Structure 1
Amino acid sequence: MWWLIISGLVVGGMLGFVMQRTRFCLTGGFRDIYVQKSNKMFYALLIAITIQGIGLWILTTLNVIQLSYDTFSVVGTIIGSFVFGIGIILAGGCATGTWYRAGEGLIGSWIALGMYALFAAMTKAGVLKPFLDKMNSVTVVNSDVSKATGIPYWLLLLVLAGITFYFVRKELKKPKFAVPQLKPKFTGMRHVFFEKKYHPFMAAVAIGLIAFIAWPVSASTGRNYGLGITTPSSNLLQFLVNGDTKLLDWGVFLVLGIFIGSYIAARGSREFKWRLPDRITIRNSAIGGACMGIGAALAGGCSIGNGLVATATMNAQGWLSLLFMILGTWFMSYFLFVRPTQQAKKVSVKTQTA
């Protein structure tokens, strides 16, 4: 039991610390593909997936772990991922981002996190479970891409690694613009850990390694999976309600570790501050959190469980989910960012010509 608690908190703490310090945000990355025409964060995600995938291939070759593949609902995954994408834009962060931003003191993230856990629990084990069961019973297919295509896992990883290398190399060749350097507040190791700015690709390497480490550590506690956010968040809420200690698996301590790691990083860098949002942000955070919870439950995972972990195992549900999460973020980004900007420009042009 002690190993389960400590290992979950340590791995989660590392993830929360790295994500908070590097501002590694998949929500912003998905949004920026459309709004800013920037693919940098998506390429960073590919790096993390590739590193984790290579690590998994080594572990499976050595029989340290065994990858398992379930059937999944194509329709449920598409709808759930799209709704989840809408939710993370409204909430201002994905499932993991909400956990680590809560550790920074953002009240809006606390609201989104509470609604996310609540609606995930309602969909997985509560009043919405019949709807989930119904969705999971239609258009069911096998999730193993290797089995479906006949292409070995290692070859699929090799293709992914080649694609990742091409885009990362292309991105790094782009001209760099000088950024004014502020005078450091800290010196020595504190500067390295709590102030120094890191490239998203370096953050991706660290996150990929943490995601890889999570597999054997989690497996040592009897949980044969890597990083996961939705089910642990749901289990944590259910435990707080009914006190069932069977719900306290490695994943629960992982998400608690993310919060603690982020808090330590925010405190050390002097970025922690209780921030009360305005009414619109409160509304959006609540609605976004609810969409995240329902969407992730329908899709079988969030941007980490599907977008980072399942993709590394060459799981069809993971890649399909990642695609529709991105489309969901683009859909909501149009109404929250693109359309208001377009309308403001039109008003400005009319004012100038009047």
Structure 2
Amino acid sequence: MPITGLILGAVLGAVMQRGRFCVTGMLRDIFTRGTWRPFTALLIVISVHAIGLTALTSAGVITPEYSPFAPAAVIVGAFIFGVSIVLAGGCASGTWYRAGEGLVGSWLALVGYALSAAAMKTGPLSGVNAWLGQFTVNQTTVPATFGLSPWWFVAGLGALTAYLAARFLQEEFTGPRPVALAQPLHRRPLHVYLAAVIIGIIGVIAWPLSAATGRNDGLGITTPSKNVANYIVTGDGSFLDWGVLLVLGILGGALVAAKVSGEFRVRVPDARTSSRAVVGGIGMGVGASWAGGCTVGNGMVQTSLFTYQGWVALAFFAVGVGVAAKIWLKPSGRKTATGTYSTDESVDGRAAHPEATTTSVSAPAYAVAPVALKVREQQSAPAGPAEVAPGEYALDTLGAVCPFPLIEAVSAMDELRSGQTLVIDFDCTQATDAIPRWAAEAGHEVTEFRATGDAGWRIKVRKG
């Protein structure tokens, strides 16, 4: 029944939201933070998928169909997609579930993504899509090339994944522990590795449920997103298949999870972030169409089937993310003689969180920047919850999408002396893990970490 897509999608959206599961961040952290810890979560998804799908195929429950490998389309498309997800602030599935958290920028990216995918697959750009995809080689899967059972590759990947997961978990539990928010059990996030296991199991269950409705495929985001646009434009009910209900379920599940955990709030981005979201969304649709899938269809499903398309696409997703990170993921503040980092957006962004307001200083200097940023030492401050004591600096990143709150925090902390404190206000959900983890790994002390309202947090970090 197609309704199973909606149910499974809702569970998937809730798990992704509670696990802060974002492939963009996993690939990005390799280049910006030099860590493979988050990427290991993606390997867990692929490994669980590989075990389940190989077992189902061996038992004759599912019959995957393999398209000829089109290297030019996959390489070009995957690179474009990798660049675009950095601009959009999230991959395909990440954009769907972040839309459920109230991020208007994700809604803008989704519109661009769905429309461009529709244009590439069934619209005026379908000829362009078909042209690049016609250059194929007679190869589909790695096991078929070597004439080996896929179980050999399942075992190898599983062993590598288990080693990496054990290593990073050991470091996590024996090294400095990040400070966590004090909150009820139902509001606590899932460990990303646990979320990965659940997502992998969901992916295994998805294939036979989808195949039962005539859709011989597993998890996927790009074609279902395209079908959403096609249905809205044409009203043709044939587009409302299992995959469409899956992505709508992701949105609904993430919305419910965010509301229950107090992490939902409508957040309207500034002009620069909005324009990047639209451009990124359009690029996602173009890139995923050429590559034959996104970070779910290629990066989770095709990789677990050990197709050339899946693994080559994943590699060039990473290349695109790395290039985009080098170009765009930089601190936005500009140091002035008064010790102030500021943008005009930071003043406007405080309306949603008046508690985070800091004392003004005379003649602040403003610099054009894509995020709301303000760092200043307080000479005097009014009494009350907004007070910032002498020696404390306030960093306003409200309205900034990830990873900018962390990037700005690292940059601002470099300007402080040992013992001084950085007070960071942010509303990016992923930063609730990234900032305290950075503080622990860098040897800084978190003296306070609390929610300031729905989808708003304050953390005080004393420089070590």
Q: What is the TM-score with the length of structure 2 in the denominator?
A: 0.70
Structure 1 residues 102 and 149, CA gap change in structure 2 (3 angstroms)? same
Task: Return the offset for 1:341.
Answer: 9.0
Structure 1 residues 342 and 205, CA gap change in structure 2 (3 angstroms)? farther
Q: Greater helix percent: which structure?
A: 1
- Counterpart for residue 320 of structure 2: 328
- 1:166 corresponds to which of 145, 148, 163: 163
Give distance in 2, aligned partners of 1:36 and 1:255.
31
Give distance in 2, aligned partners of 1:72 and 1:244.
31
- Counterpart for residue 45 of structure 1: 42
Give the number of the structure whose alpha-carbon radius of gyration is greater: 2
**Aligned AA (2:53):** L
- Counterpart for residue 177 of structure 2: 178
- Counterpart for residue 258 of structure 1: 250
Give secondary structure in 2 for the equivalent of 1:256. Answer: helix
Q: Does structure 2 conserve the Cα–Cα contact (< 8 Å) formed by 1:119 and 1:293?
A: yes
Q: Does structure 2 conserve the Cα–Cα contact (< 8 Å) formed by 1:73 and 1:136?
A: yes
- 2:93 corresponds to which of 92, 96, 99: 96
Q: Does structure 1 conserve the Cα–Cα contact (< 8 Å) formed by 2:85 and 2:281?
A: yes
Structure 1 residues 182 and 73, CA gap change in structure 2 (3 angstroms)? closer
Give distance in 1, aligned partners of 2:32 and 2:330.
7
> What is the correspondence of 1:2-81 to structure 2 with a 5 Å cutoff?
3-4=1-2, 6-81=3-78
Give distance in 1, aligned partners of 2:333 and 2:163.
33
Unaligned residue ranges in structure 2 (runs of 5+) = 336-407, 415-464
Moved over 4 A (4+): 338-346
How many pairs align? 339
Q: Does structure 1 conserve the Cα–Cα contact (< 8 Å) formed by 2:78 and 2:314?
A: yes
- Identity of counterpart residues, as a percentage? 44
Give distance in 1, aligned partners of 2:138 and 2:12.
32
- 2:285 corresponds to which of 262, 278, 293: 293
- Counterpart for residue 216 of structure 1: 208
- Counterpart for residue 352 of structure 1: none
Give distance in 2, aligned partners of 1:203 and 1:42.
13
**Aligned AA (1:179):** P
- Counterpart for residue 117 of structure 2: 120
Once the two structures are superposed, residues 21-78 of structure 1 have per-residue CA deviations (whole angstroms, 9 ceiling, x without a partner) of: 1111111110000001111121111111111111112212221111221103101100
Q: Does structure 2 conserve the Cα–Cα contact (< 8 Å) formed by 1:236 and 1:247?
A: yes
Q: Greater strand percent: which structure?
A: 2
Give distance in 2, aligned partners of 1:234 and 1:26.
20
Q: What is the TM-score with the length of structure 1 in the denominator?
A: 0.91
Task: Return the offset for 1:109.
Answer: 0.3
**Aligned AA (2:274):** I
Once the two structures are superposed, residues 84-130 of structure 1 have per-residue CA deviations (whole angstroms, 9 ceiling, x without a partner) of: 00110000000001100111111100000000000000011111111
Give distance in 2, aligned partners of 1:136 and 1:182.
48
Give distance in 2, aligned partners of 1:42 and 1:51.
15
Give distance in 2, aligned partners of 1:217 and 1:94.
24
- 2:128 corresponds to which of 131, 142, 155: 131
Give distance in 1, aligned partners of 2:180 and 2:224.
40
Give the superposed CA RMSD: 2.1
Unaligned residue ranges in structure 1 (runs of 5+) = 350-354
Q: Does structure 2 conserve the Cα–Cα contact (< 8 Å) formed by 1:8 and 1:257?
A: yes
> What is the correspondence of 1:200-349 to structure 2 with a 5 Å cutoff?
200-338=192-330
